[in-house]
Amino acid sequence: MRGIHSVVDDLRRSVFEEVARMAYEDDVARIDKLPYKIIPGEVARYRDSVFRERAIVTERLRLACGLPLRSAADYGLPSEGIEEANIPEKYYEPPLINVIPFACNACPEKEMRVSSNCQGCLSHPCQAVCPKNAISTDAYGHSVIDNDKCIKCGRCVDQCPYDAISKIERPCAKACGMDAIHSDEMGRAKIDYDKCVSCGMCLVNCPFGAIADKSQIFQIIRAIKNGEKVIAIVAPAFVGQFKGATVPKLRKAMRILGFENTFEVAVGADLCTIEEAEDFLKEVPAKQPFMGTSCCPAWSVMAKKTFPDLAPYISMALTPMVLTARLVKKDFPDAKIVFVGPCAAKKLEASRRSVRSDVDFVLTFEELNGMFTAKDIDFDYIEPDACDEDFQEGSAAGRGFAVMGGVAAAVKDHIAHVAPDREVPMEFADGLRECRKMLMMARKGLKNGYLLEGMACPGGCVAGAGTITPVPQSTRNIEKYKAAAEKHSSLESSFASRLKEAEE
pLDDT in tens, 6-31: 999 999 999 999 999 999 999 999 99
Alpha-carbon gap, residue 324 to 444, rounded angstroms: 36
List alpha helices for 375-470, DSSP H: 396-399, 406-418, 432-443
Confidence at 483, pLDDT banded by 50, 70, 90: very high
Alpha-carbon gap, residue 100 to 104, rounded angstroms: 7
Residue 390 scores a pLDDT above 80: no
Q: How many CA atoms lie within 13 A of 190 on its CB side?
A: 9
- The SS3 of residue 80 is coil
pLDDT in tens, 278-300: 999 999 999 999 999 999 999 99
Alpha-carbon gap, residue 427 to 407, rounded angstroms: 11
AA identity, residue 288: Q
Q: Which fold has domain 110-169?
A: Alpha-Beta Plaits (3.30.70)
What is the per-residue pLDDT for 4?
A: 87
The residue among 254 and 86 whose pLDDT is bigger is 254
Cβ-Cβ contacts under 8 Å for 41 (sequence gap 6 or more): 50
What is the per-residue pLDDT for 153?
A: 94
Alpha-carbon gap, residue 299 to 435, rounded angstroms: 7
pLDDT in tens, 180-226: 999 999 999 999 999 999 999 999 999 999 999 999 999 999 999 99
Question: Could you give the percent of the chain with pLDDT greater than 90?
Answer: 88
Among 38-42, 268-272, 382-386, 414-418, the range scoring the smallest mean pLDDT is 382-386
Q: pTM for the whole thing? A: 0.94
What is the per-residue pLDDT for 355?
A: 86
Domain ranges of the chain: 7-101+179-218, 110-169
DSSP string, 126-162: HHHH-TT--EEE-TTS-EEE-TTT-----HHHHH-TT
pLDDT in tens, 84-103: 887 766 667 889 999 999 99
**Other Cβ atoms within 10 Å of 462 Cβ, number:** 30
The average pLDDT across 304-326 equals: 96
Residue 485 scores a pLDDT above 80: yes
Chain center to CA of 468: 11
What is the per-residue pLDDT for 12?
A: 96
Strands 189-191 and 181-183: antiparallel
Alpha-carbon gap, residue 486 to 481, rounded angstroms: 10
Contact 385, 480 (CB under 8 A): no
The average pLDDT across 469-476 equals: 95
Alpha-carbon gap, residue 132 to 134, rounded angstroms: 5
What is the per-residue pLDDT for 354?
A: 83
Contact 294, 319 (CB under 8 A): yes
The residue among 170 and 88 whose pLDDT is bigger is 170
Closest Cα partner for 314 from 422, 465, 447, 504?
447
Closest Cα partner for 61 from 88, 27, 32, 89?
32
- The SS3 of residue 435 is helix
Residue 259 scores a pLDDT above 70: yes
What is the per-residue pLDDT for 2?
A: 75
What is the per-residue pLDDT for 387?
A: 85
Residue 386 scores a pLDDT above 90: no
Scored b (16 or more CB within 10 A) or e, 381-409 reads ebebeeebeebebbbbbbbbbbbbbbbbb
- The SS3 of residue 233 is strand
- The SS3 of residue 190 is strand
